Amino acid sequence: MKDFQANKNPQAESKKTTIPPYMKAISGSFGGIVEACCLQPIDVIKTRLQLDRMGNYKGIVHCGATVSSTEGLRALWKGLTPFATHLTLKYALRMGSNAMLQSAFKDSDTGTLSNKARFLSGFGAGVLEALVIVTPFEVVKIRLQQQRGLSRELLKYKGPIHCAHTIIREEGLFGLWAGAAPTVMRNGTNQAAMFTAKNAFDVVLWKKHEGDGKVLQPWQSMISGFLAGTAGPVCTGPFDVVKTRLMAQSRDGGEVKYKGMVHAIRTIYAEEGLRALWKGLLPRLMRIPPGQAIMWAVADQIIGLYERRYFHSAAL
């Protein structure tokens, strides 16, 4: 009887059962699709605010109202195609690579994962996604979002493919990786904090351990995901502003204003003040925590169903 009870211990069972990385990748990709469709307008507003050096927008509501009234409601979904594609691929890579790194960092004797190992796994996943997916997709997305006007014929970039092709032709292949350094710092720190916090909130709030066969309710996943997604934007605000500025500047005219990450931070601070390094923080907080809530609500359902089918039923 004691042996049976020991086997039902979530922590003991989690040592024996691990969600395969491909399932984590699949769950993340589906979560990314849903998140992109729901939150794209907030991302457009965030980008416009970060690029607003003249004070044309008075705040989030004014920015959204101005964009929709002058460019049409559909303008709030500018860049949705690259954004949705990039989120789908990003979450697949993030969740899959994090699972692989966690497996590599697990204690070989006990099968447990320390908080330090979980933090490093998240940081590694964030760095990988930043270099492979996030930077080139966000360069295209930001170039599209910063364009103003109603007529497609008057816009420099006609769409995501045309935008990428134009950047490569005018600035070279590495033009798609403008702002890579602050993107790496931002994403690495964000994911290290997010994966560590999400696991902690699941355990503390819902007594949920990976591999225990328990499927969280969507609202439970949303609460854990929302809370886990709040710290990153505050800590990485300057990296996000610098990333946006570096990605937005075009090199087809010769000289560029910002020479790199450190130069951009110094220039923004000197010209616009310290608070400018946290421009767009409120829309980031309106987008990232809800985005994590949506993504985890979808991902946890897929992972939970997999656990219940292949782990819990097998134990019974």
> What backbone phi and psi angles, to 5 degrees, belong to 98?
-65, -40
CB-based contact 186:265 (threshold 8 Å): no
pLDDT digits (tens, 9 = 90+) for 73-120: 888 988 788 778 878 988 999 999 999 999 999 888 887 888 899 999
Q: Kindly list the distances between the CA atom of residue 51 and the CA atoms of 176, 201, 280, 287, in Å, as whole numbers in the listed order.
A: 18, 35, 9, 17
pTM of the model: 0.75
pLDDT (mean) for 220-243 = 90
CB atoms within 10 A of CB 17: 17
- Residue in 75, 48, 83, 56 with CA at minimum distance from that of residue 150: 75
The length of the chain in residues reads 316
- Residue in 24, 206, 44, 11 with CA at minimum distance from that of residue 113: 11
Quick one: DSSP state of residue 149? -
pLDDT digits (tens, 9 = 90+) for 291-302: 999 999 999 999
Quick one: DSSP state of residue 76? G
